[in-house]
Structure 1
């Protein structure tokens, strides 16, 4: 299995084309580039995104479970990538750049620590897989975008260092009132939460230790907004493509997680009619921290030209991400999304409303929400009431 995977991975990278010579603008997470004059800047930006791939030889998940996520962890890794981008924006800023051999801030290594393949890291493959059990996913089972969004929301509650407000907007609707209530919590600091040990009742203190990043004088928790969507039946509806492109143009963009059935990618931008993405389907050895201040980090940055695929080939089941560090950022995002929704070059992908519609269920009550991962599941959803629903708490 490993030998076959490594051969496949090597060929995969060998087939990656250099970036196209085109006059079309290149958009990467809210930043516009020229492919003709700013190719090095494009590659620097892509390389600076944290790249999480399959790993092997990490401690067994649950003590006796798998020691590699090859073949099943691609959506989990994509969830790590979109959330890592939120942490980069939160602690380092969108303009931060990684350079090989350069000495980086401790905050950068703190972010990496949060994603290491170990049970006491906030967003490790161990924590995501174990938390997914509560969402009806056994360890080793493939996730959909909705499931990974819900799991990351729950895990973020333990990350008091980042002190994020994570909202997963359901039913294709973003309710401003709900988000403001979440971000303007009266108790923003408080005692540090402890990360649950998946193998016992023991609790781990989250890394890094120290005071909470927020204090009681702050009125807004930085927002990570994840919106699971279905943009068609078996194929993406072309009417949504223009709106999807606009999302990558917003300065608040965290990108999109999705891909093809059972093959997930992290999409960070587009050029022309192609999406630009980071691909988790490469198996690398697990990385251990050498000490509390340094991690061998080269394998967390993809130095190859970015992968591309036709937008029309995108599976319609996706999750779109945005980051709003301040309340002003959120208000700006709302204004821009309103403009996009009335534009003539695409259908709105979701609805933005002031208050929760009366026909919505209580957000504190469990709701049945389908998480489609492929066409077969979609067909079964209309025919069955069994396993195609996931019971997810809001």
Structure 2
């Protein structure tokens, strides 16, 4: 057995109740939605189950050299990147009020899931992400960090017109408003934005001064979660309760298959493997400090509202801000080892290295416009 949820997949629903959501008076936040843990437990689980759950797979078309037919042991952050992008597409094309059930055959939903299947022809498959990682100096089979998977997804979405999404990766802890407007606003039209903000919030664990900001990020409309994890294991975070973050865990190995139009029993069975009813929990202080906050803005108005909420709820609250928002780009701040006495005196860094999920070297990404040569595989 692998980790976490294989026990859930194997157990009978009438057996021991899983300890996914604690019985508490604290609110439960799932991707911008507030729930009561006691009165709305099944609704919480329905919301969790409606997210696209991407996990390790086995038996797919060989990938790279050596010829890999599973991503077990190396693909967890790639799968988290898939979950992030899938949630963004659900939000964009179906809306936050949409819920999945076992009989769902909505053609838009099926188009989304098909894009993440383990095929060389699927635009956001493990094959496309792993091969595109070569442009970020990551060979097939190597671990990714949050920044690397963000840079790869940024390139891949340009090759899928249907997804109608553009990605901006905000480097150096700075969201530059004019850069994003230039990227997304073309005349009177706005191309929907997935904003990814890579951060480094400590050395080996998340510094407690940043935890309140992380919690607030799950409450803001337009959040599509957080990619990060704990040391050596990547997770896709979708909310929190109390002092614990809620996440979907990719560390379950499932068989490869296709949902297609979900007309046969086998296609329905594969669709079930993309959904997990029970979230897992981890204390914020135990999370790996290398992570990325993610938000979707379908319109210019939503982008303006997001910036206002980020400023009021996260940046200007009196606690240590997670990042900056500026109108125009500024010279990135760099600390001097001889004068830096405490990380809490400065903005979090994205270019530190440690034994984390997979340390990203971001020195080569001084801007969000790096476009190394790459090949889109078919």
- One fold, TM greater than 0.5? yes
When the two chains are superposed, the root-mean-square deviation of aligned CA atoms in Å is 2.4
Tell me: CA distance 1:132–1:377, structure 2 relative to 1, closer, same or farther (3 Å). closer
TM-score, scaled relative to structure 2: 0.84
Q: Give the structure 2 partner of residue 343 of structure 1.
A: 317
- Contact in 2 for aligned 1:136/1:390 (Cα 8 Å): no
Residues 46-65 of structure 1 correspond to what in structure 2 (within 5 A)?
46-62=48-64, 65=67
1:271 and 2:241 correspond: yes
Query: CA offsets, 1:166-205, max 9 Å, x none?
Result: 100000000000000000135xxxxxxxxxxxxxxxxxxx
Structure 1 unaligned blocks of 5 or more: 187-217, 361-368, 379-386
Residues 1-394 of structure 1 correspond to what in structure 2 (within 5 A)?
5-6=1-2, 10-11=6-7, 17-62=19-64, 65-102=67-104, 104-185=105-186, 219-291=189-261, 295-296=267-268, 297-303=271-277, 305-340=278-313, 341-344=315-318, 346-358=319-331, 370=351, 372=353, 374=355, 391-392=364-365, 393=370
Distance 2:159 2:354 in 1: 28
TM superposition shift of 1:8:
7.6
Distance 1:336 1:319 in 2: 18
Distance 2:281 2:32 in 1: 18
TM superposition shift of 1:235:
1.6
- Contact in 1 for aligned 2:2/2:251 (Cα 8 Å): no
Structure 2 unaligned blocks of 5 or more: 334-349, 372-378
Distance 2:262 2:24 in 1: 44
Distance 2:67 2:252 in 1: 21
Query: CA offsets, 1:236-261, max 9 Å, x none?
Result: 11111001100000011010011112
- Contact in 1 for aligned 2:203/2:354 (Cα 8 Å): no
SS at structure 2 position matched to 1:240 = helix
SS at structure 2 position matched to 1:254 = strand
TM superposition shift of 1:100:
1.3
Tell me: CA distance 1:359–1:229, structure 2 relative to 1, closer, same or farther (3 Å). closer
Distance 2:49 2:307 in 1: 30
SS at structure 2 position matched to 1:241 = helix
Tell me: CA distance 1:28–1:8, structure 2 relative to 1, closer, same or farther (3 Å). closer
- Contact in 2 for aligned 1:147/1:371 (Cα 8 Å): no
TM-score, scaled relative to structure 1: 0.81
- Contact in 2 for aligned 1:169/1:225 (Cα 8 Å): yes
TM superposition shift of 1:358:
4.9
SS at structure 2 position matched to 1:67 = strand
The size of the alignment, in residue pairs, is 340
- Contact in 2 for aligned 1:27/1:248 (Cα 8 Å): yes
- Contact in 2 for aligned 1:109/1:293 (Cα 8 Å): no
- Contact in 2 for aligned 1:132/1:138 (Cα 8 Å): yes
Any runs of at least 4 consecutive aligned residues in structure 1 with deviations exceeding 6 A, and if so which?
Answer: 12-15
TM superposition shift of 1:87:
0.3
Q: Give the structure 2 partner of residue 383 of structure 1.
A: none
